[in-house]
Amino acid sequence: MTEEILTVKDLKKYFLTSRGTVKAVDGVTFSIKEGETLGLVGESGSGKSTVAYTLVGIYQPTAGKIVFKGQDISKDFSKRLKPLKKDIQIVFQDPGSSLNPRRSIKQILELPLKVHHISGNRGRMKQVVKLLEMVELPFDYQYKYPQAIGGGEKQMVAVARALATNPSFVVLDEPTSALDVSVQAKIINLLMQLQQRLNLTYLFITHDLSLMRNVATRVAIMYLGKMCEVACTSEFFQNPLHPYTQMLLSSIPVVSDEEEMLKPKKILSRGEIPSPVNVPPGCSFHRRCPEGMELCSQVDPGMVEVGEEHTVRCHLFQGAKIAASTSQGEE
Q: Say if residues 312 and 242 touch (Cβ distance below 8 Å).
A: yes
* CA separation for the pair 212, 9 (Å, rounded): 24
pLDDT score of 95:
85
317: closest CA among 284, 293, 281, 287? 293
State residue 329's pLDDT score.
46
pLDDT at 155: 95
> In whole angstroms, what is the distance from residue 199 CA to residue 15 CA?
35
> Average pLDDT, stretch 283-305?
91
Task: Indicate the average pLDDT of the chain.
Answer: 88
pLDDT of residue 44: 86
| pLDDT of res. 274 | 83
What is the distance between the alpha carbons of residues 81 and 63, in angstroms, rounded to a whole number? Answer: 21
Distance CA(75)–CA(63), nearest Å, equals: 10
Residues 118-164 have pLDDT tens digits of 888 888 999 999 999 999 999 999 999 999 999 999 999 999 999 99
Q: H helices within the chain, ranges in order?
A: 48-56, 82-87, 95-98, 105-115, 121-134, 151-163, 181-198, 209-215, 233-238, 243-250, 257-262, 315-330
Distances (CA, A) of 218 to 56, 75, 134, 197: 21, 28, 26, 20
Structure confidence by residue, pLDDT tens digits, 68-109? 999 999 886 666 667 788 999 999 998 888 899 999 999 999
Distance CA(188)–CA(193), nearest Å, equals 9
Asked whether the predicted pLDDT for residue 331 surpasses 70, the reply is no
* pLDDT of 1: 56
Q: Sorting pLDDT into bands at 50, 70 and 90, what band is 259?
A: low
**CB neighbourhood size of 255 (10 A):** 7
**Integer CA distances (angstroms), 206 to 38, 108, 178, 220, 327, in order:** 11, 26, 11, 11, 41
Output the pLDDT for position 262: 57
What is the average per-residue pLDDT within 9-26? 93
**For the segment 295-304, what is each residue's pLDDT rounded down to a tens digit?**
999 999 999 9
pLDDT at 278: 85
Is the Cβ–Cβ distance between 95 and 152 less than 8 Å? Answer: no
Q: Angle formed by the axes of helices 151-163 and 121-134, to 10°? A: 130
Whether 175 and 10 have beta carbons less than 8 Å apart is answered as no
Higher pLDDT, 179 or 253: 179
* Per-residue confidence band for 221, with pLDDT thresholds at 50, 70 and 90: very high
Using alpha carbons, select from 210, 178, 197, 1 the residue that is nearest to residue 91. Answer: 178
pLDDT digits (tens, 9 = 90+) for 179-192: 888 889 999 999 99
Question: 3-class SS at 304?
Answer: strand
Q: Is the pLDDT of residue 233 over 90?
A: yes
Task: Count CA atoms closer than 13 A to 53's CA, side-chain side.
Answer: 14
Tell me: pLDDT of 322 over 70. Answer: no
DSSP 57-78: TSS--SEEEEEETTEE--S-GG
Residue 103: count of CB within 10 angstroms of its CB: 14
Confidence at residue 326, expressed as pLDDT on a 0 to 100 scale:
39
- For 100, 142, 172, 244, the CA distances from 247, given in Å and listed in that order, are 40, 46, 25, 5
What's the rounded Cα separation, in Å, for the pair 327 and 213? 37
Q: How confident is the model at residue 316 (pLDDT cuts 50, 70, 90)?
A: very high
pLDDT(263) > 90: no
Give the range among 6-10, 41-45, 52-56, 232-236 with minimum mean pLDDT.
41-45
| Section 238-255 average pLDDT | 84
Q: How many CB atoms lie within 10 A of CB 57?
A: 19
